[in-house]
Structure 1
Amino acid sequence: MDLLFSEKNKAIALVAFDTLFNRRDYEAAERFWSPNYIQHSAHIPAGRDGLFNLIKSLPPTLRYENQLVVADGDTVITHGRFSGIGLPASWITADIMTIKDGVLVEHWDVIQDEATKLQSQSGNPMFGSSFPS
């Protein structure tokens, strides 16, 4: 696969996540999620509307931070943190997406509660270089 194609898809994924999760600009986010979006997450209702409605139901404190993004053609994987979600712990996620013609068409994820320093058996944070405060 073309390196430029992979780089473009990484940028699309990051802008899409910022638009929906941080800016909560649903009209703009429609440009990034296919109307036929396929959701595989057990935590998110089906389709684009299911995802958007879930985000609308979360507190305004919701934030997404990205630590790593990798791509191989139309497959993009992000490693990030969802904080301010209204739960005791932030979520550390690996989001796997398929991007076709500049829009997200399919999504899988792996979600784990972020461990504190006391909870971490390795002594290392799950995200970034420090533990959450």
Structure 2
Amino acid sequence: MAKTTPEQNKARVLEAFDTLFNRRDYAAAERFWSDRYIQHSAHIAPGREGLFDLVRTLPETLRYENQLIVAEGDYVIAHGRFSGNGRPAAWIAADVVRFEDGKLAEHWDVLQDEATRAESVSGLPMFGDRFAA
């Protein structure tokens, strides 16, 4: 059983997300996601294949950008943006990942459409320090 540190887990999440969402390298992505992967997202079918199959249906323009990543023990929370998703607005996501044996073993997320400047009651962007173009 591989035991990883929170810093290693943060780096692995960022590399895994880049490999799957930005590069679409499914074979390489398999080394990051456990074959016993548990998916809690209501919009994604079970398991690693459910996630990979969803990504295959999304436009090639899909991109993941990370704004903030924190880790404690075997858990990582990544605050990011999924743009080019084929929807009117990008998704702002808080992805929670649990590691087991050095791999992404379980996942939960909270997704919200990114607000424009006109839609933001606070007047502040949801991601980074400026509104998306």
Tell me the TM-score normalised to structure 2 length.
0.96
**Identical pairs, percent:** 67
- How far residue 73 of structure 1 moved from its aligned partner, in angstroms, is 1.0
Counterpart amino acid of residue 110 in structure 2:
V
> Per-residue CA shift, 1:73-101, capped at 9, x if unaligned?
10000000000000000000000000112
Shift of 1:52: 0.2
| Equivalent position of 1:27 in the other structure | 27
Corresponding pairs, count: 130
CA offset at residue 59 of structure 1?
0.4
Q: Which runs of 5+ in 2 are unaligned?
A: none
Query: 4+ residue stretches of structure 1 with deviation over 3 A?
Result: none
How far has the Cα of 1:43 moved from its partner? 1.6
1:114 and 1:30 mapped to 2: Cα distance?
A: 29
- 2: CA distance, partners of 1:59 / 1:41: 20
Q: CA RMSD in A?
A: 0.8
Unaligned runs of 5+ in 1: none
Which SS does the other structure have where 2:20 is aligned? helix
**Superposition map of 1:41-120 within 5 A:** 41-120=41-120
Alpha-carbon deviation of 1:44?
1.1
Tell me, in whole angstroms, the C-alpha distance in 2 between the residues paired with 1:93 and 1:104.
17
Residue 127 of structure 1: how far off its partner (Å): 0.2
